[in-house]
Every structure is written in structure tokens, then in C-alpha cells.
Amino acid sequence: MTLIKSISGIRGTIGGAAGDTLNPLDIVKFTSAYATFIRRGQKTSFNRIVVGRDARISGEMVRSVVCGTLMGMGFDVVDIGLATTPTTELAVVMAQADGGIIITASHNPRQWNALKLLNNLGEFLNKEEGNEVLAIAEAEDFEYAEVDQLGKYIKDDSFDKKHVDAVMALSLVDAEAVAKKKFKVCVDAINSVGGIILPKLLDSLGVDYTILNGDPTGDFAHNPEPLERNLTGIMSEMRAGQYDLGIVVDPDVDRLAFICEDGKMFGEEYTLVSVADYVLQHTPGNTVSNLSSTRALRDVTEKHGGKYAAAAVGEVNVTTKMKEVGAVIGGEGNGGVIYPESHYGRDALVGIALFLSSLANKGCKVSQLRAEMPEYSIAKNRIDLTPTTDVDAILEKVKELYAEQQVNDIDGVKIDFPDKWVHLRKSNTEPIIRVYSEAHTIEEADALGKDIMKVVLDMQ
């Protein structure tokens, strides 16, 4: 059983002893801490908090505890029901709320759930704010409302439509061109909220579609992380059918992966790259991704005359850097597209609409679009640590050994060679160092990672 407390909220497995798992007692404690944090720093006078959830089996239980606790803290609750993470983020602003709680464990397996915490802009709390929530929870410094000050419960199912309408209104979403192409797509919605909202988006775009795993039961049809090894079902369907595109989302629909018409993976690293290429053709500017994402985004950005910047791993770090450099698009190599014209959050609906617009305007197949992108491959390795391993000392030594290269140490150590890179980063959840490396071929990338791992292992 597992309970993980971090700056972005609390997540864990369901069931077991209090304090060791995500259970009602801990849900009450952390929801109370978040409500206390919002109350102390309240920037608006709306006195309401939005709550949305993915379709996980435990979601209804967690939702009930969260909503009751917020009402007990004196906040009105706008419950938007089964909703994607980006829908909930947008709903905070649309509903004029002081914050929001997303009940989702993203791509984690079915036994997990989590509380993800938003500010009044519908964006994730930053490190300092997250630490403040954790400190309040640790001190259990809560004060609940008197009977006449209890919050009200408001059910509002209108935000899926509002989200789709907002996507359709984006200037670079060319719905007319998409509809003319009469695309046929296959969607794997993993038996979560994507099965509810993606048909609404695709109907608006005039796309013909087949939905696999579209029943939002939370009983995931396969491992929910949208990686090639987990997607054999839709890849087989793509090879058998006459589809133009395969679309895969995770349970809360903030990550997006594509499959080519021939059943081969487009590559989740290239979701952002391809969408950015389309955006930059029309609105040249800067881009941002995290340190562990492909160099292809930098290449595409510079091709269009912009500047690329790297951020520490984590969505809030990416959005902070995007605001700092005025990026027109950014995101993460895990299939997360962040488009500020819409909002500062990963949004698969935005990614789908922009990708289909690009495909329609180029008039090519998905495999041909992929072939136009710079070609890189990423290898992912790990180093298991002993209890006595001094990770910081090891990373400092690696920096010294490769001082003649371009080194970035904002999140672990990333070494940029002229034609490849390697990123070493201590995991926040496991006693390991993650070693990601990229080169023009997977063999080169893996060899680079293994070479660096040998250097590190010799230090232990």
C-alpha cells in the first residue's frame, strides 16, 4: 500500500490503514489543508471550488469525501462530475472559482487515485504553494464552518460542451478543412472520461470515428499509460481497418499519443513536436519543454525563427518557464500539449484539434507528416541506489567530468553533446536515478546512457 505526499497534492492506493494509503481520513485532512490554504490567500471573493474526477472505480467515494469536506470548510462546491483534467482546469475560470481539485491518478493503474490541486487560474500550485498545503496538513491547523456558514453543493454538467466550444474557437483550429477531409479515426479511451468528451469534439470537427474502450467504468482495458507496449489492441485495429489516424489518451485526457494509418506509433515525443510545427508556421515564437523531452522541438522551433528553452520536469515548471519566455506553445514529451491561447495546462483536446487541422491543411498521411519531423530516439534506463548512496555528490562529480560540454543542472544533470544528450535525475518516488538519453538512433542513445551509467556506478 502506498501514500505519496507531494507539492502537487496527494496520491496513493485505495484501501488499507490510515496514513499508509489514500483513505477517507487522509482525504479529509488534505482537502481541509487545501481549503485552509485557499482561504488564507484568497485572491477572489467567489467562495467556491470546482471538483472534477476521472472515471476511476474509487472516484465516487473520493468525490463524496472531498465535496463534503469543502462544504464543511465553508466553500460552495461546483461538482462538474466525470470530467477531464483540462476540463476541470478551464471550469475553475469559467465558474469564477477560487480553486479546484481534480480527482485523478492520471496514468497510474486502477487501484490508485489522487487529489490534484489548482489555484484560481485553473493552474497547478507551484512548489512553494504545495509545500504550504503539506505544512498545514501536517499541523492539522483547520477550522471548520459553523452551521449557518456551511457551503452549498452545486452540480453542473455543462463544462464538457464549454470545453469543446472553447477548443473549436481557437484561431488555428481549422474545422472547415478537417470536415472536408472526412477523416476516419480510431480512439482508445481506456474506459475513462475520454469516452465521454472525445466523441463530442470529433462530432464538432466532422470526423468519422470508432471508439475502443469507451465505457467510463474506470475498469481500464489495459495499462493506462499510453505507451506502445500497452496499445496492442488499437494498433491491431489500425492495421485491420481503413483509418487515417489512431488517437490514444490516458484516463484524465491530458496526455495524447497518435498512431499512423499503417498501425505504427507516431511516437509520444512527437505529439508536441508536430503540433508545435503547425502552430509555429502561423504564429512564430518561442517554445518550452522539459529537460527529458526530445531535441526535435528545439530543431523545429529554430527552423521557424524562434528560441527554445528547457524547464525542470513537471507541468508547473514548464508553464512557469513558458510565461517567463513568452512561449506560444510548450509541453512535455509524454504527449502533453500546452497551448496558452487556450490555457496553461496539458490538453489532449487542443492537441487533437490542432493536429487534425495540420493534417488537413498539409493534405498528407500521418506517416508522411511524421517523416517530416527531425529523427531522434530516446533510451530510458535507471540506476538502483543503495541507502548510503550520496546522489547529490555523484551528480556534482558528473558535472565536473563533463564540464567541457553544455551542462544544465536545474533538475539533476543534463549533458548536451553536439548531436545527443543524456539526463540524470533522481526519482521523487523510487530509490533510483533515471537516465534518459537521446541520439539519432536508439542504439546510439542506449549506448550513451549505458556509458554514463558505468561512470556513475564506478563512483558508488
Residues marked as catalytic: 106
Q: How far apart are CA 286 and CA 31, in angstroms?
A: 37
Nearest to 87 by CA among 131, 45, 50: 50
Contacts of 431 (CB under 8 A, 6+ apart): 384, 385, 387
Cβ(446)–Cβ(439) under 8 Å? no
Q: How far apart are CA 190 and CA 180, in angstroms?
A: 29
Q: How far apart are CA 319 and CA 68, in angstroms?
A: 31
> b/e string for 113-127 if b means 16 or more Cβ within 10 A?
bbbbbbbbbbbbbbe
- The DSSP annotation for 239-267 comes to HHS--SEEEEE-TTS--EEEE-TTS-B--
Cβ(118)–Cβ(94) under 8 Å? no
> What is the number of other CB atoms lying within 10 angstroms of the CB of residue 375?
12
> What is the number of other CB atoms lying within 10 angstroms of the CB of residue 152?
11
> What is the number of other CB atoms lying within 10 angstroms of the CB of residue 86?
29
How is residue 381 written as a grid cell? 534506463
> What is the number of other CB atoms lying within 10 angstroms of the CB of residue 459?
13
Local structure of 69: helix, strand or coil: helix
Query: Angle, to 10 degrees, between the axis of helix 159-168 and the axis of helix 194-205?
Result: 40
Would you call 236 exposed, middle or buried from its count of C-beta atoms within 10 A (0-12, 13-18, 19+)? exposed
Q: What's the per-residue H, E or C state across 332-354?
A: ECCCEEECCCCCCCECHHHHHHH
Q: How far apart are CA 111 and CA 75, in angstroms?
A: 29
Cβ(256)–Cβ(339) under 8 Å? no
Contacts of 392 (CB under 8 A, 6+ apart): none
Q: How far apart are CA 317 and CA 310, in angstroms?
A: 10
